[in-house]
Amino acid sequence: MNKEAIDLLIQKTPRLKRARAKLETMQPGAYVIHRAWGFGQIQSYDERENRLIIDFEDGKKGHPMDPAFCVEKLEILKEDDILIRSHAGEKEVEEMVKSRPTDLIADILSRAPNQEATALELETILSRLLGPTKFKKWWTSTKKALVKDPRIAVPAKKTEPFILRDVPVKAEEEILEEFNETKAPKKKIILASKLIDLSVKHQDIEEALPSILKQLTSSLAETKQLTDGERLFGIWVRNDLARFIHEDVESLEPTSAYLIKEANDLCALSEQIPSTHYRRYIDLIERTLPDQWVRITFDLLKNSSGKLTSECINYLIDKDHEKDITTTLERWLVEQNLKAPVLIWMLKNRNSKRYGKMLEPLMTPRLLNAIFYAIDYEALQNTSNKRIPLAEQVSEDHDLIPDLLADAGFETAHDLAQNLMLNQGFEDLSKKSLLARFIKLFPSVQAVVDGESGGLPAESEDDSLIVSKGSFEDRKKEYETLIQVKIPKNKEDIAEARAHGDLRENAEYKMARQEQDILLTRKSELELDINRAQVTDFSDAPKDNVGIGNMVDLEQASTGQVNTYAILGAWDSDPEKNVLSYQTPLAKALIGQKIGASVEIEIDGHRENWTIRGIRRWLDEKK
């Protein structure tokens, strides 16, 4: 665009005056990014039509765009932008992506304003450069490498920028400087832990360790700013540091044993310490409370989750308590005290070499009943649409039901199938899949599903939906888009909005949660619809009377006019094309009637009489 064209455009649309600088960059050859169409290049400007002609990579060649629209929707790339260089096939960009990821980030930052960019800004560039799927794995590993790169300052918070330093700073120097500057006890503990690891490789850090030990010991005295778990972790860091520089650990106060003896709830305390220190925690309990440690460890196991579950079991096995584990799990099974995390661990490890023999006596129908109980309980306690990991584990483990029902009688299988049908923790599609596994082992369970033998009543024929193949595929496609694209994207939006701070005044977070409610409601509706659907090609439509899949010639009494209507599936309604769903009032009144019959219905408060003048099959007309 030349100066005259820009002047004329601003004259017509004064608000564009503020965007003059951007308009001046919209020249032939300039590269652009559109949020939906991606990477493109301006080819020319059509003065007559006042349109920029742009070639986009997605196939939109010679696409005309209003410059005023482009101001809002297009990002004009600088000549040295990484995307342009990549598009031009610059080998250095490809090499940095494959072999020098931190160099790529440094390159991007060097061309950014003030040589800095937030994580979101970098992720936007990387998504365009590498693709929305590939960049996530690449960026996750690169962020870990950036922490060690002296050229780049990595932010502590998501909202803060990555900065390309004027003078490189070694990671260990940066951590030491931060340790000396901070007064927060929790942060000092974390930084001291990092410095101990670094001191093995760096002499200058080792020289600073006595001072670090003194400061850390002082920080541990600030009990009001630390939870008991944070303080215990701090004591461990302090002790490791003291041993490293050959100080007397026994002379340091407070001791880790003191915290264990004073703790009111050792299970709650375990939730406050890093998962990397779980085994050290159990070992500390054994040394401090030698007569009680087995009982305490089983208490920890009962209320554990994740890595703590396996650490408790492994520690007990290493101390020759394998039989006690089996006995205790059997007792919890009878008492229905097995909680979801322990159940998940049992299911994942039931066939392993290390645990399989120990768990084998527990692989019974009673365990499946305990699993259903735990899932149902969690669903009833769940006030949101939060996923239930145990339910997902059961759905994905196709060998589980055959394994647990191997020695079951049909009565036991029937009871468990009924429990499954009543369970609130499974989605309808998952529940159907699990019931199919029951039926494969015990065909008589089909009677339970159909409403016999005391089972749940089956859906009546009126509850089913007769649908065309095309409309059914559209529903499935919409459902798959929800599951694979929209809902995962919404979860990312919620996480991103949550990171922005106070949720009470966070409009982005509220909007994302509202959208989540809409998406999950639509997901439930689609699942119900898909489960009820009976797909047809209308080949069985009658010829002598009106049915689903017919074309009907109707005479309207008030006007004498004859119109032709197609009566098709539940989701095929298109009034503008005279296509009626069989569920509409007029279609319901016509179904079963023959030529010459009249029906009267009320639409929008007006009663009208219709007479059937002809009946044909829609499929025949389509041919």
- The CATH number that applies at residue 56 is 2.30.30
SS3 per-residue string spanning 527-595: HHHHHHEEEECCCCCCCCECCCCEEEEEEECCCCCEEEEEEECCCCCEHHHCEEECCCHHHHHHCCCEC
174/246 same-domain check? yes
DSSP state at residue 224: G
243/188 same-domain check? yes
239/179 same-domain check? yes
Residue 29 lies in a domain: yes
Q: Residue 454: pLDDT band by 50, 70, 90 thresholds?
A: very low
Is the model's pLDDT at 36 over the cut of 80?
no
- The set of residues, in sequence order, having a beta carbon less than 8 Å from that of 373 and lying 6+ positions away, is 336
Sign of CA dihedral 508, 509, 514, 519: positive
Q: What is the pLDDT of residues 600-618, one digit of tens each?
A: 988 767 788 999 999 999 9
If one counts the domains in the chain, the total is 5
- Between these two residues, 545 and 409, which has the higher pLDDT value? 545
Residue 401 lies in a domain: no
108/184 same-domain check? no
89/22 same-domain check? no
What average pLDDT score do residues 39-43 get?
91
Residue 592 lies in a domain: yes
**Domain of residue 113, residue span:** 82-169
527 token code pair: 């699942």
66/97 same-domain check? no
pLDDT of residue 199: 59
66/136 same-domain check? no
Q: Residue 291: pLDDT band by 50, 70, 90 thresholds?
A: very high
195/246 same-domain check? yes
pLDDT of residue 118: 93
pLDDT of residue 177: 77
Q: Residue 462: pLDDT band by 50, 70, 90 thresholds?
A: very low
183/250 same-domain check? yes
Q: For the packed helices 307-318 and 340-349, what is the interaxial angle rounded to 10 degrees?
A: 60
DSSP state at residue 208: H
Maximum mean pLDDT: which of 7-16, 97-106, 454-463, 600-609: 97-106
Is the model's pLDDT at 34 over the cut of 80?
yes
What share of the chain has pLDDT > 70, as a percent?
Answer: 92
Residue 387 lies in a domain: no
> CATH number for the domain including 575?
3.10.50.30
CA distance 240 to 247: 10
| Type of residue at 1 | M
DSSP state at residue 227: -
What average pLDDT score do residues 294-316 get?
95
Is the model's pLDDT at 281 over the cut of 90?
yes
Maximum mean pLDDT: which of 28-37, 77-86, 275-284, 501-510: 275-284
Of 210, 227, 262, the domain-final residue: 262
Residue 384 lies in a domain: no
Least confident span in 24-38, 497-511, 530-544: 497-511
Q: What is the pLDDT of residues 410-451, one digit of tens each?
A: 788 888 988 888 888 888 888 888 999 998 888 878 876 765
What average pLDDT score do residues 80-103 get?
91
> CATH number for the domain including 523?
1.10.287.180
Residue 39 lies in a domain: yes
Of 228, 262, 296, the domain-final residue: 262
Residue 370 lies in a domain: no
30/110 same-domain check? no
524/489 same-domain check? yes
Of 169, 204, 228, the domain-final residue: 169
175/141 same-domain check? no
Is the model's pLDDT at 571 over the cut of 60?
yes
CA distance 585 to 600: 10
CA distance 43 to 20: 20
Q: What is the pLDDT of residues 170-182, one digit of tens each?
A: 666 777 777 888 8
What average pLDDT score do residues 201-218 get?
75
Q: What is the pLDDT of residues 116-146, one digit of tens each?
A: 999 999 998 998 899 888 889 999 999 989 9
Residue 561 lies in a domain: yes
- Between these two residues, 397 and 209, which has the higher pLDDT value? 397
Is the model's pLDDT at 505 over the cut of 70?
no
